[in-house]
Structure 1
Amino acid sequence: MVNITKHSGIYTLKVEQFLPISLEKAWDFFSSPKNLERITPSHMGFKITSGEPGSMYPGQIISYKVSPLPGIKTSWVTEITHVEDQKFFVDEQRFGPYSMWHHEHHFEIKDNGVLMTDKVSYKIPFGILGHIAQVLFVKKQLAGIFNYRVKVLDEMFKE
C-alpha cells in the first residue's frame, strides 16, 4: 500500500512490499538500474539515456527520458549517493521535474523472504501551483507508479 504524507512542504511516499525471494536475489535485481524500465509503467516511456549502467556505486550518475504527462518528455538525472551492500541504497535527483527527490531503498530479511521499503521524499516546484498539481495529479500518478511496481514485482517473484 502506498502512503503519502506532507511535512514542511515536503511530501513523503512510503511503500512496503514483502517478496518471497532471497536477499541476494532482491539486491541483484534492485541494485541494477537497467531493471527500472521493467517495473515502470510503459505509458511513461522510461528509457535510460546514459548508456548501459553497470554495477551500482556511490557517485554513479544515471540519466533518463521519461514522460510524466502524455505528450511531455523530460530528462531526469539521478545520482546514487549511498550504498550499503544488501541493506539499502539512495538515489537523488540532480536534474528533473522535482525541486527535490530523495529515494531510499531498504531491504530486510524476513521469514522466507525480504521486506522492501521504498521511501521517497520529494518537493514540487512552483509554490502554490505545485501544491495544486500535487493534489490534482502528482500524488495519484506517483501512487499509480508504485502500485504498478508492487503488482509487477508480485508477478515476477511469486512463490
Structure 2
Amino acid sequence: MPRIAIQTEIKANRNIVFDLSRSIDLHKISTEHTNEKAIAGKTSGLIGMDESVTWRAKHFGIYQNLTSKIIEYERPKYFADEMVKGAFAEFKHEHHFAESNGGTLMTDYFNYKSPFGILGKLADKLFLKKYMTELLTERNRIVKQFAESEKWKEIITE
C-alpha cells in the first residue's frame, strides 16, 4: 500500500493550523484546479468527529465522487479521515500537528490502495503517487498561506 508523507513548517498557532486543515471552505480553495465541490454531508465550515463530506471533482478528465469521514479526532494534535466511498480501493489520511519553533509542524500521512489490482499498482508507479503528492502539497501550501497571514480569519469564523 503506497504511503505519502509530507511535512510543512507553518509560522502560526497550532489551533489555527488544525482548524484550517479541517475546513471544508479552505479545501475548496486549495482544489479549485480540479473543480472540487462539497455536494453532500458537511458542505461548509469545520468538519469534526464522525462527520462526512462527499466531494465531486474532476481528476484525469473524469468527474468522480468521493466520500470521506472523520474517524479519529484529538484537537489540536491529530485527526484522520478515511474514504467511505470512492475511486480508491481504500485510503486513510492522517493529519498531525506539533508545536515547533514557535509555530506548527504539520505532518500528513496519506495511505491508499488503488483499485484494479496489478493495473492499480502500475498506475501508482507511473503517475498516481506523484499526482496525489502534488495535490496534498498544494493543499498544504494554501493552509500555510492562510495561517501565516490574516486570511485565516476569512475561513475560521466558528
The 2-side partners of 1:58 and 1:28 are apart by 13
Amino acid at match of 1:74: Q
Alpha-carbon offset, residue 39 of structure 1: 1.9
The 2-side partners of 1:110 and 1:38 are apart by 26
Q: Which residue of 2 aligns with 1:57?
A: 48
Alpha-carbon offset, residue 148 of structure 1: 1.9
Q: Which residue of 2 aligns with 1:29?
A: 20
Aligned length: 148
Q: 1:131 to 1:85 in 2, by over 3 A?
A: same
Alpha-carbon offset, residue 59 of structure 1: 1.4
Alpha-carbon offset, residue 147 of structure 1: 2.6
What is the TM-score of this pair, normalised by structure 2? 0.85
What is the TM-score of this pair, normalised by structure 1? 0.85
* SS of alignment partner, residue 36 of structure 1: helix
Amino acid at match of 1:18: E
Q: Which residue of 2 aligns with 1:4?
A: none
Work out whether 1:45 is the aligned partner of 2:45: no
Match of 1:106 among 96, 121, 124: 96
Mark the runs of 5 or more structure 2 residues left unpaired by the alignment: 150-158
Work out whether 1:20 is the aligned partner of 2:25: no
Match of 2:87 among 92, 97, 113: 97
Q: 1:126 to 1:148 in 2, by over 3 A?
A: same
Amino acid at match of 1:120: F
Alpha-carbon offset, residue 58 of structure 1: 2.0
Alpha-carbon offset, residue 128 of structure 1: 0.9
Alpha-carbon offset, residue 54 of structure 1: 4.4
Q: Which residue of 1 aligns with 2:72?
A: 82
Amino acid at match of 2:93: H
Q: 1:73 to 1:53 in 2, by over 3 A?
A: same
Q: 1:57 to 1:112 in 2, by over 3 A?
A: same
Mark the runs of 5 or more structure 1 residues left unpaired by the alignment: 1-9
The 2-side partners of 1:151 and 1:87 are apart by 19
CA contact (8 A) 1:19 1:115 kept: yes
* Structure showing greater relative contact order (alpha-carbon pairs closer than 8 Å, 6 or more residues apart): 2
CA RMSD of aligned residues (A): 1.7
Q: Which residue of 2 aligns with 1:5?
A: none
Alpha-carbon offset, residue 154 of structure 1: 4.0
The 1-side partners of 2:97 and 2:114 are apart by 27
Aligned-residue identity in percent: 26
CA contact (8 A) 1:53 1:62 kept: no
Match of 1:68 among 59, 73, 79: 59
Amino acid at match of 2:59: P
